[in-house]
Amino acid sequence: MRAAESADSNLATPWLRPFTGRHRVSTAWRAGLPLHEALNSVGPRSVQFVPQTRLSADEAYEAFIFRTRTVPTRDNLHDFFNGLVWLAFPQTKRRLNELQAAEIARTGVGATRGPLRDALTLFDENGAVLDAPAALWEALVARDWHALFVTRRALWSDARLLVFGHALLEKLVAPRKAATAHVLLTGASLSNALDDATLAQRLGPEWLAQKPFVPLPVLGVPGWCAANALAEYYDDPKVFRPRP
């Protein structure tokens, strides 16, 4: 199956609802436009996508984006989802890029990324943001999965989970029970937590360098998988692991 067709086959899933331009991008891509042109056809002027060939071998990807204010894009699912996140959360993506570029300018590109660049990459690829009642946060941090998803299940009607990481969105094209997000550990319900400007402002380098994340198997979220309507779904220690 072509990447464009694969992208279009799973666009109605709950984790993609925040990405309102997804159908237009997918339609343009399936019609034959290169992905960077499909993204540009629906995107704001603040974000521009260019062919991957614009990126030279001697310049880091993050440094190129910072220097040119454009995003190199390949015709594949990984970059399709990366583009969707750029379109929906341009300020947050720009903030991540600014922090990456600053670290590259400060330390160069070496064999290891360092704690801040590691955290930035982890959030960019596999991150999520949760706006939820305090009782759900308490259960999540404790990795008390039964409380989080069974006894306190009704509280999820007042919660919102944003899957931000584009690599995780790509994995969810063929959902597997073990798919796990790294949720930013804000520790409480936040007004407008999923707002682009609010999220961008929260991304301080000192805080991120501490890797303030907690794992969450996303298919455990009520409504995200039909099988999790049964409490027995969570009796799987290979996925719903206790806190070390």
Interatomic CA distance for residues 165 and 147, integer angstroms: 26
- The token duo for 84 is 């969707």
Q: Which residues pair with 162 in a beta bridge?
A: 129
* Beta strand 127-131 pairing with 48-51: unpaired
Q: Which helix (H) or strand (E) holds 106?
A: helix 90-107
Per residue of the chain (244 residues), give pLDDT as tens. 366 666 665 666 899 999 988 999 999 999 999 999 999 998 677 889 999 999 999 999 999 999 999 999 999 999 999 999 999 999 999 999 999 999 999 887 766 678 999 999 999 999 999 999 999 999 999 999 999 999 999 999 999 999 999 999 999 999 999 999 999 987 555 556 678 998 999 899 999 999 999 999 999 999 999 999 999 999 999 999 988 8
Residue 162 CB-density burial (10 A; 0-12 exposed, 13-18 middle, 19+ buried): buried
Q: Give the position of tokens 């890797």.
A: 211
Q: Give the position of tokens 């991957």.
A: 52
pLDDT of residue 62: 95
Interatomic CA distance for residues 60 and 150, integer angstroms: 45
pTM (whole model) above 0.85: yes
pLDDT of residue 1: 39
- The token duo for 163 is 């899957």
Contacts 24+ apart (CB under 8 A), 90-96: 90/44, 90/46, 90/47, 90/196, 91/196, 91/197, 91/199, 91/200, 92/164, 92/196, 92/199, 92/200, 92/203, 93/47, 93/124, 94/200, 95/200, 95/203, 96/120, 96/123, 96/124, 96/203
